[in-house]
Structure 1
């Protein structure tokens, strides 16, 4: 089963269940909703009649008034009202009036005059001063024959002198309930079909886009020439761009080729120097010459060792997915330790070092990696600062982060080299002697910054070069 069909199946089940639940809930709420609205209307009607009947009930002239004839005429009316597509051809209210003891004084149906209704809830509750209402079946065996009764008190100077009840058969409301349920069912069915159509189109589009990417990847794997699929912007567009970029990287093998060539070049130079010095040492020479060649071998061997150690450290950092430990690291103490270790180089070059840091400034991270990163930055600064020049460390807090700035006086970095300084094995000639480093230091610093969730930036400023290391604070 394809991904598009699976997505549509899940969408179909979800939409279907959601539609059924909502429709079922609304259907169940229609009947009580209509009855509640009808009850509210009956309350208004009963209270209106209570005011109209007050004087006749108070004087005891209800039977001799015009109301019985009016109610009889009311019962014969045929409204022929068109209510939202349904015709109402007769009135359905039953109205009866009782005295203060619950005895029926007047009944629009003519069948209950003189009967005791004091035990019916509508009359009983109203005479007690409560809201009186009830629902009773006309036929005990027929649940559809229920009638809704709502009563209102007839008051004479705050005294209840009688009750008027208005009744309406629930069966007369059923056509409106059925009509609402039918319309809602059709409306829900239309929405469901529309939703499923949208889901089908979405599934088709997603399946089609993924199919293009799949066919493109298969063509690239087979070594065929293929153009990257043109997809809309968004995650799929980004995925297509990423696949295309990966193809270019794999086909060009730029990364591997540059890595191997540069590493071979870096190893070839010290190995050639060691081999040449060893061959010369096999012959006759003065003690001073011998010492000079031995020093050359030691220096080049140290360079090889430094290269291998830095490669090892870099490989370890690149393989990491996160920090192994986190602790508070004092920036001031860490720099003080590094400067003390490099004091001989600083004194020999007559350099001026300024540290403008708050002693309370602390980083959050892995101390060993932070020390190695700062040591690499300091090494670079010492290599490129001229005799008698200035090196300055500053640090400041920015919200939950710390920005460490290392400035060294010296020549500006060429524009073409600025973007390549953090590349593996890329290095610029040192001012003293023109030799190059391993080209791994700044790449290592960048990897360490990334592991800590930070950034590394190098730029030319007035009078020299500035390196900014942005890291999370403790």
Structure 2
């Protein structure tokens, strides 16, 4: 399962459980709480009415039932029209019932006029109140219907400090059930809204976290440094990936990854160069050492001259290797061009041809150029260096008295020689550092860095290098942004 789904499910589960338990507590407590408030109100009403009825109880007027002074004061109480809105609940009837019993439990007064003369002495509320205790009960009018339950609360009627009777107030559960139902609906709606908002917040937090983690993953994939023996791929980036800007610990992690990349990149760079350079230095150093040991002996003048020339050739090879290593190192440290104005591709080609003219004339090689000139925001010095390296490679493989053609096209330049070309299996490796192929004379006089330098220059310009065999020879094409391949 993906990280985002795991985070979302965990967040939703925690909030769902919290919402469930909170809602359960509220739902369980609503009904008891409303009944507690109702009972408290009935207690106060019962004691207040008991105080009003004590004078009639003492005078015996309550024995007259509905004709008593107390009864006349409450006459029509239940029939009064009521239209009251209590918060969001509408009340249209008075539901409290009032009964008065004597000390034997006989009903002297009933506000509904139903049970006068009945014996209430066995009802719990009346029985306990007559004994001086708190009396209350809840009784269902229909045995199997909880909604028909009625709450009764009784208060003693005191005459000269003695309990002379009991006044009971009662209220049916259905009169407060509407309030309970309304509260439950509100809590359920609020709970549902809470769950939905929690889900939305969970989605938002998960999305935010996953997006940043994916940015970190993408950055980590982009900054994987290529190995020392990287091929001449056109897709290599010209600049390092920018460190993603993130808040808090994620930003610290991104910065730590960048610092780690730089340290590993520098270490791998040095280790790779040391290995490759050591390998490349073995041959010329061994040749110089062998020639030097032979020169210590008595040799004919002709042999001595041959071995001395070999020492000079190998020293020159080492010098070329060091020079090109320095050039490549400087190029790899650069992240952008220094060009300030537009540059002519034809002018760069001519300058490179002038630099290689002496070497070409020694071998009888002719360099010609043709095609349409191009201008772009390129760095002239780097382009001259790239073209010079390509011309040097072409002359190393071109036969004497042959021709090297420099063909110009819109935003592109190709150099074609008439040499033997390169084996198709080795084409993909051209551009790797220190990779060389045998020259037509069988020697490996190159350093294997010329095409690496060209490739790096093209990356700095946002372009690419393409190599293909022709009949005869090899064609190397430099393609700049928006340029097209030249055939």
Tell me the TM-score normalised to structure 1 length: 0.52
CA distance in 2, matches of 1:71, 1:256: 106
Residue correspondences, number: 257
Any stretches of 5+ residues in structure 1 without a counterpart? 261-474
Residue equivalent to 2:260: 246
Of residues 138, 142, 145 in structure 1, which corresponds to 2:141? Answer: 138
Residue equivalent to 2:191: 188
CA distance in 1, matches of 2:97, 2:225: 87
Residue equivalent to 1:226: 241
Q: Deviations over 1:149-185 (max 9, x none)?
A: 0001111232111110000000111111111111111
Shift of 1:52: 0.4
1:14 aligns with 2:17: no
Residue equivalent to 1:87: 90
1:65 aligns with 2:79: no
8 Å CA contact 1:220, 1:247 repeated in 2:
yes
Shift of 1:25: 2.0
8 Å CA contact 2:61, 2:69 repeated in 1:
no
CA distance in 1, matches of 2:117, 2:14: 61
Residue 74 of structure 2: SS of its match in structure 1?
helix
8 Å CA contact 1:50, 1:153 repeated in 2:
yes
Of residues 155, 158, 161 in structure 1, which corresponds to 2:161? Answer: 158
Shift of 1:84: 1.9
Shift of 1:137: 1.1
Residue equivalent to 1:43: 43
CA distance in 1, matches of 2:144, 2:223: 79
8 Å CA contact 1:105, 1:113 repeated in 2:
yes
8 Å CA contact 2:138, 2:151 repeated in 1:
yes
Q: Deviations over 1:262-311 (max 9, x none)?
A: xxxxxxxxxxxxxxxxxxxxxxxxxxxxxxxxxxxxxxxxxxxxxxxxxx
Residue 249 of structure 1: SS of its match in structure 2?
helix
Residue equivalent to 2:313: none
CA distance in 2, matches of 1:47, 1:255: 96
CA distance in 2, matches of 1:143, 1:205: 51
CA distance in 2, matches of 1:140, 1:10: 47
Any stretches of 5+ residues in structure 2 without a counterpart? 227-236, 275-487
Tell me the TM-score normalised to structure 2 length: 0.51
Q: Which has the larger radius of gyration?
A: 2
Residue equivalent to 2:452: none
Residue 46 of structure 1: SS of its match in structure 2?
helix
Residue equivalent to 1:53: 53
Task: Output the aligned Cα RMSD.
Answer: 1.9
CA distance in 2, matches of 1:115, 1:86: 35
Q: Deviations over 1:120-143 (max 9, x none)?
A: 011011111111000011122322
8 Å CA contact 1:249, 1:255 repeated in 2:
no
Residue 155 of structure 2: SS of its match in structure 1?
strand
Which of structure 1's runs of 4+ aligned residues deviate more than 4 A?
A: 254-257
Q: Deviations over 1:14-70 (max 9, x none)?
A: 212221221122112111111111000000000000110111101111224332233
Shift of 1:256: 8.5
Shift of 1:254: 9.4
Shift of 1:253: 2.0
CA distance in 2, matches of 1:216, 1:143: 66
Residue equivalent to 2:432: none
CA distance in 1, matches of 2:3, 2:151: 56
8 Å CA contact 1:103, 1:118 repeated in 2:
yes
8 Å CA contact 1:92, 1:169 repeated in 2:
yes
Query: CA distance change for structure 1 residues 99 and 255 in 2, over 3 Å: closer, same or farther?
Result: farther
